Amino acid sequence: MKIPREAASTAHRAFRTFLVGEALDEEKLREYVRELVASRHRNWRPVLHELKRLTRLHLDKRRVRVESGTKLAKAELKRIQATLAARYGEGLQYEFVLNPALLGGMRIRVGDDVWDGSVKGRLDRLAAAF
């Protein structure tokens, strides 16, 4: 959907009001969406579409997926959480996944950032170099 500049600007301004520090005030967002739909503002659909996109991007930035080739010890899990919390702030949602295809090491994804320290990743980079 092509979003008119005015609708995108409205959505961005509104979205900034829903942020409290790094956290999203979901109740204020819900109330705004209810009012927007009820008012039938002339660009309400594009504004709603852009708000949905901004919300998804914001929530994705707070989601962490840690894949490892072997089961991680509790101390390692806590160290990873502490390191990521120091870098990205508190309130991250963690998902720890065992992925034997990695062969060893781990791959960490936070939003769009990916750190691949897996054996498979290293082998893939080596194969691409040839």
What ranges do the domains of the chain cover?
5-60, 63-129
For the entire predicted model, the pTM comes to 0.67
Q: Residues near 65 by Cβ (< 8 Å), separated by ≥ 6?
A: 95, 97, 108, 109
For the beta carbon of residue 16, count every other beta carbon within 10 angstroms.
9
CA of residue 52 relative to chain centroid, distance: 13
Instruction: Show the DSSP H helices in 18-118 as ranges.
Output: 26-39, 44-61, 74-88
User: What's the pLDDT tens digit per position in 62-96?
Assistant: 899 999 988 889 999 999 999 999 988 888 889 99
For the beta carbon of residue 47, count every other beta carbon within 10 angstroms.
24
User: What's the pLDDT tens digit per position in 34-52?
Assistant: 998 898 878 888 999 999 9
